[in-house]
Amino acid sequence: MRNPTSLYIVGLTGGVASGKSTVAELFAELGVPVLDADVAAREVVEPGTAGLARLVDTFGATIIDKHGRLDRRSLRNVVFQDQTARQQLEAILHPLIRQRLLDQLDQIQAAYVILVVPLLVESDFSKLVDRILVIDVPVETQRSRLMQRDACDRTQADAIIASQTERQRRLDAANDVLENSAGPNELKPKVEALHRHYLSLAAERNPG
Ligand SMILES: CC(C)(COP(=O)(O)OP(=O)(O)OC[C@H]1O[C@@H](n2cnc3c(N)ncnc32)[C@H](O)[C@@H]1O)[C@@H](O)C(=O)NCCC(=O)NCCS
Ligand SMILES: Nc1ncnc2c1ncn2[C@@H]1O[C@H](COP(=O)(O)OP(=O)(O)OP(=O)(O)O)[C@@H](O)[C@H]1O
């Protein structure tokens, strides 16, 4: 089933640390509603949620910190070194994330919405969207931005990159590509041009 709402949905994706949040923030500054699967992924494992209880059942109480919250760094260290663990995590969280995003989409009234989904190409989330915008950088740029932002080493950065689809496969799935290897100042005009394009596509889809 494609996009079950009447809202025009642009799926924004890209590899880890490609600049998805940075670009999404520029769309938000233009007044476009932005929903983010990484944010939903945090909400569905808040203390007291069924999501967190299921993670504890599967991975043990060591993934909980002393405040009763999910210790994200500890879980991150597990799942990016162990494909089976990552698949278990995704099997628990993806349906919860999907439902949360659908509930949030239901509340939105706008010409179009940006839906940020890191694993859009890898997962069924692509069925929710009308169009795919890929934020693209070379792998070396991804690695160095990730190491700098998250203070992780090259091995940890490469493990996350390797867990995601290849750059070319993501580009093959794209309707639009935003190249983000230049400085952040180059992004604004590119986002403004995409915004005009999406407004006209949304108007074509929902005239009046
Ligand atoms: C492993 C977790 C706990 C690490 O949390 P942490 O706060 O360190 O990272 P955060 O959630 O901000 O994610 C950062 C980036 O990691 C990458 N990433 C996250 N999950 C995955 C995954 N399952 N496979 C590949 N890459 C992933 C994405 O590029 C994401 O943008 C967390 O990422 C998580 O719960 N992942 C499973 C849910 C999921 O698949 N999320 C992706 C959205 S569909
Ligand atoms: N054009 C740019 N020039 C320099 N640094 C940038 C640029 N775009 C983003 N960055 C930096 O690169 C890092 C990754 O960007 P960002 O957090 O937006 O990526 P992301 O794709 O949302 O990451 P994740 O996959 O972890 O959610 C951040 O530190 C950000 O400030």
pLDDT tens sequence across 160-181: 999 999 999 999 999 999 999 9
Query: What value, to the nearest 5°, has the Cα angle with vertex 188 and ends 183 and 192?
Result: 150
What's the pLDDT at 1?
45
The residue whose two tokens read 């209880």 is: 53
What's the pLDDT at 205?
85
CB 131 within 8 A of CB 6: no
What's the pLDDT at 206?
80
What's the pLDDT at 50?
97
Non-local CB neighbours of 139 within 8 Å, separated by 6+ positions = 15, 161, 167
CATH class, range 1-33+111-208 = alpha beta
What is the distance in A from the centroid of ligand 2 to the CA of 38?
A: 14
Beta strands, E only, the chain: 8-14, 34-36, 112-116, 131-136, 176-179
Distances 207 to 33, 48, 136, 200, 204 between C-alpha atoms, Å: 20, 44, 32, 10, 6
> Terminal CA-to-CA distance of the chain, rounded, Å?
25
What is the distance in A from the centroid of ligand 2 to the CA of 1?
A: 32
Residue numbers in the chain where pLDDT is lower than 50: 1
CA distance 165 to 83: 13
- For 183-203, b/e burial (b = at least 16 CB within 10 A) is eeeebeebbeebbeebeebbe
Q: Where are the alpha helices (DSSP H) in 83-186?
A: 83-106, 139-150, 154-163, 167-173
Q: Which two tokens stand for residue 175?
A: 């309707």
116 CB less than 6 Å from ligand 1? no
pLDDT tens-place string over residues 40-78: 999 999 999 999 999 999 999 999 999 999 999 999 999
Query: Residue 139, class by beta-carbon neighbours within 10 Å (0-12 exposed, 13-18 middle, 19+ buried)?
Result: middle
What's the pLDDT at 6?
80
Number of C-alpha atoms within 13 angstroms, CB side, residue 181?
A: 10
pTM, rounded to two decimals: 0.96
- Domain boundaries for CATH 3.40.50.300 within the chain: 1-33+111-208
If you take atom 8 of ligand 2, which residue's CA is the nearest one? 19
Atom of ligand 2 at shortest distance to CA of 16? Answer: 25
If you take atom 1 of ligand 2, which residue's CA is the nearest one? 184
Judged by phi (left if over 0) then psi (alpha if -120 to 50, else beta), residue 124 lies in alpha
Q: What is the ipTM of this complex?
A: 0.97
What's the pLDDT at 4?
59
User: 68: annotated binding-site residue?
Assistant: no
